[in-house]
Chains A and B, each alone.
Chain A
Amino acid sequence: MSRIPDVFRRPPQTPLPVVGSAVRPCAPSGPNGERMPRWLRIALVAACTLILCSCRAPVGSKLSANLPPSPALPQPASTGPVLPTAHTEALQDSGARPAAAPMGPPGWELGVPLPHVATGPWAPPGISKPWPPDEYLADGGDGGVRAAVRDSRQVRGLEMEDTIAHFDTLDGQTIIEPSNQVLLYSPRFRSVRQVLGAAESEQMLALTGVSQPVRAAGQADVTLTGSTKQHVQTVRQIGEKAVTVMRTRQGDGAISTAIGLAAFDNGFKPYENLVVIRTGTYEAAERAWLARGTTAAITWTSDQAIQVMLDRRAASAVVRDEKIDTLYSVDEPPAHPKLRIIKVASTAYAEIGDTVDFTIRFDNVGNQVIGNVVILDSLTTRLEFVPGTAQSSLPASFTTQPNEGGSLVLRWEIAQPLEPNTGGVLRFTCRVR
């Protein structure tokens, strides 16, 4: 008998209050001892769970608790600021720190990092990076409404920043594959100005008066006394209902059915004169006859009679020797058309006016040929396509059309079908604006 470890042992339970000879449960109960109804407890737990799930955590109180550990704790703002590492490095590189530069806690010259920059850009807990999204330009993927291809070969749902490819399979399907998303850090600033002055708040404060005489008005309505007489004449309706009689008579009848005989032509043939053939009942006494016939059938059907070709490939018999009939099939993996699109950019940071090179690699990673491969890239508003920079390693037709963001939709239509394990490369250049 094994002993239970102490850590798994339950603590000694305090005895429950005993009323008479019955043990009262620990569930919430009223002063009179009645328990709260079960449905009320379940509803209470569900409501509390809903309330807790809908609460928002305060922004500031839990941020520091979720941040990664930092090699140096930041100093409070009242005692002095903390310098980011990059600033200090840039400052040391330039050697231009003036004598009056100040202001930092002890050790700031060495670049005491803030906790939120110790391991990269900070992001609020629970929000995936990069964050905030307004500082990044995104291009690629299929965000928002999913793109779809209509029967007229028109692509719907292609939004800004989307990069997709669609192709046709051998069985007539049109499949859409999105690319990955490329992010560029490139914040752009604008401003809103308001000009206020005394001239704009001038008001005429002269006293004004409005004289509007109001006369006493009276309205005399004369309502004449009137009366209306309505004569209602007594109406009587007399109806007669005749007695009707319906007589029916059903005569005797009989149904005659006859099933005609039907038979095989000439009955069973001699080699079919087996009980298993005629009635389907297998008898051991006929095993030898059956074996001879089976052998003959295999010989004729498998070796000399039928040669099966499926999809230009020799089919093999799946079931044979044991039975008379033979099932032919081609052992081929299921169709799995797949196009892989990978998009990369030449840089992760771009200022206004910089040019960025994009490369799209597409490969047929499926197991069948795909055709009508079209690759679409809807550029975001701040990416301006540089004309003449579109390239393709495979013969393709390249066209552009404006999109809703004031930029362009780049379209490559690959001329030839793509065999499995083949692919190509597209390149183009954009200017950040």
Chain B
Amino acid sequence: MDCWKRVAGKVAMAAILGLGTFGPGIAQQPPVHFWHPAGLPPGAIGSQQLARGGPLPGFFQPVEIRVPAKVLISLAEGGRFREPTPGPVRVGLLVGQVYRLAAINLPYQPGVAVYPTIEIVDRLYAPRGMETRFPVQIELTREDLELAAQGKFVTRVVYVEDPQAALPALGTGDQSWFDVAPGMDPLAVADTLGRPIAIVRMGGRVPDGGEADMGFLFGCPPVMPLPAPATSPTESKPKAAPPAAKSRPEAAPK
């Protein structure tokens, strides 16, 4: 009996000391926002973001969708696509939901449509009254649309830049971006440079038989329309070099 008590006491003390030693180390987690790869199906990351807590459920994050000139976009709503409109389009999108768009009237590709998806995985915390003045800017560049029309699968992770690690380049209307290699996770790379806000995927799927079902439209989550910006931003200019050569050297991911 005494032997058992002695062993139990030692085990209990070892457990307590172990928890006291490693507990704080476990609590000091690295400042990583996402532990999931960007290759997950649309909606998986957003739903897990909602499960992590915070004031995310039910919040309409203002988003400004920019497209090249003459390109028309349409958001799926109520089981069908809305009337195509030229960009930029400002809408409020729910955090954690996936929205299906249709981009038509692509340059030099008449009759071809691309159906990108936008997944809002986080939100901004703008001062009260400034939510619509500072929307999340999502750009569907001409090159992205052309690549998607050619059968490529384009994933673009939009993130809020960390001011401490920001580039001194002056913003000229186009969103600064860079490519990552196919073997890398763009979400993880974006997480090292800032806080990912949205994931844009395009290419790959088209409506079966031209009819969009609810599965293709991800259930058509609600959209809150917002007034268009007062001044139209500069049109997204196409890049001259091929995608592989366009990686900005200043932000080469490691």
Known: A187-B124, A193-B179. A60 touches B52 (CB 8 A): yes
Do residues B159 and A382 form an inter-chain contact, with CB atoms below 8 A? no
Q: How far is A101 from B222 in the complex, measured between Cα atoms in Å?
A: 8
Do residues A187 and B160 form an inter-chain contact, with CB atoms below 8 A? yes
Interface of A (DSSP majority class) = loop
Do residues A348 and B182 form an inter-chain contact, with CB atoms below 8 A? no
Residues of B within 8 Å of A58, CB to CB, are 53
**A81 located at the interface, meaning its Cβ lies under 8 Å from any Cβ of chain B in the complex:** yes
Q: How far is A77 from B95 in the complex, measured between Cα atoms in Å?
A: 10
**A353 located at the interface, meaning its Cβ lies under 8 Å from any Cβ of chain B in the complex:** yes
Q: Which of B62, B128, B180, B190 contacts A121 (CB 8 A)?
A: B128
Residues of A within 8 Å of B150, CB to CB, are 197
Q: Which of A85, A191, A384, A406 contacts B190 (CB 8 A)?
A: A191
Known: A63-B54, A194-B186, A382-B168. A131 touches B125 (CB 8 A): yes
Interface of B (DSSP majority class) = mixed
Q: How far is A187 from B61 in the complex, measured between Cα atoms in Å?
A: 14
Do residues B52 and A59 form an inter-chain contact, with CB atoms below 8 A? yes
Do residues B129 and A190 form an inter-chain contact, with CB atoms below 8 A? no
Q: How far is A256 from B24 in the complex, measured between Cα atoms in Å?
A: 76
**A51 located at the interface, meaning its Cβ lies under 8 Å from any Cβ of chain B in the complex:** yes
**A433 located at the interface, meaning its Cβ lies under 8 Å from any Cβ of chain B in the complex:** yes
Known: A84-B60, A190-B175, A384-B170. A198 touches B134 (CB 8 A): no
Among listed A19-27, A86-94, A233-241, A273-281, interface-contacting one: A86-94
Among listed B15-23, B108-116, B209-217, interface-contacting one: B15-23
Q: How far is A404 from B130 in the complex, measured between Cα atoms in Å?
A: 31
Residues of A within 8 Å of B55, CB to CB, are 63, 67, 114-116, 122
B160 to chain A, nearest CB (A): 5
Q: Which of A82, A134, A348 contacts B195 (CB 8 A)?
A: A134
Contact string, A34-76, partner B, CB cutoff 8 A, digits 1/0?
Answer: 0000000001100110110011101111010001000000111
Give the nearest-CB partner of B169 in chain A: A433
Residues of A within 8 Å of B226, CB to CB, are 87, 90-91
Contact string, A398-428, partner B, CB cutoff 8 A, digits 1/0?
Answer: 0000000111000000000000000000000
Residues of B within 8 Å of A80, CB to CB, are 222
The contact size tier of chain A is 35 or more
**B152 located at the interface, meaning its Cβ lies under 8 Å from any Cβ of chain A in the complex:** yes
Q: How far is A196 from B203 in the complex, measured between Cα atoms in Å?
A: 10
Contact string, B223-253, partner A, CB cutoff 8 A, digits 1/0?
Answer: 1111100000000000000010000000101
Contact string, B166-195, partner A, CB cutoff 8 A, digits 1/0?
Answer: 111111000111111110101101100111
Residues of A within 8 Å of B119, CB to CB, are none
Do residues B224 and A103 form an inter-chain contact, with CB atoms below 8 A? yes
**A323 located at the interface, meaning its Cβ lies under 8 Å from any Cβ of chain B in the complex:** no
Do residues A83 and B60 form an inter-chain contact, with CB atoms below 8 A? yes
Give the nearest-CB partner of A198 in chain B: B151
Do residues A102 and B53 form an inter-chain contact, with CB atoms below 8 A? no
Do residues B163 and A407 form an inter-chain contact, with CB atoms below 8 A? no
Top 5 A-B residue pairs of the complex, sorted by shortest distance between their CB atoms: A60-B53, A103-B222, A406-B168, A59-B53, A94-B227
User: B residues within 8 Å of A by Cβ?
Assistant: 5, 13, 16-17, 19-20, 23-24, 26-27, 29, 38, 50-55, 57-60, 62, 77-78, 82, 92, 94, 124-134, 136-137, 139, 144, 147, 150-164, 166-171, 175-182, 184, 186-187, 189-190, 193-195, 197, 200, 222-227, 243, 251, 253
A196-B154, A405-B168 are known contacts; what are 10 more A-B pairs with Cβ within 8 Å?
A47-B17, A47-B19, A77-B50, A81-B58, A90-B132, A97-B225, A116-B55, A187-B161, A190-B177, A197-B151
User: A residues within 8 Å of B by Cβ?
Assistant: 30, 43-44, 47-48, 50-51, 54-56, 58-61, 63, 67, 74-77, 80-87, 90-91, 93-94, 96-98, 100-104, 114-117, 120-124, 131-138, 160, 185-198, 200-201, 348-349, 351-353, 380-382, 384, 405-407, 431, 433
A-B contact pairs, 18 of them (CB 8 A): A43-B13, A51-B23, A63-B55, A74-B58, A80-B222, A87-B224, A96-B227, A101-B225, A114-B59, A117-B128, A133-B163, A138-B163, A185-B127, A191-B156, A195-B147, A197-B150, A349-B130, A380-B166
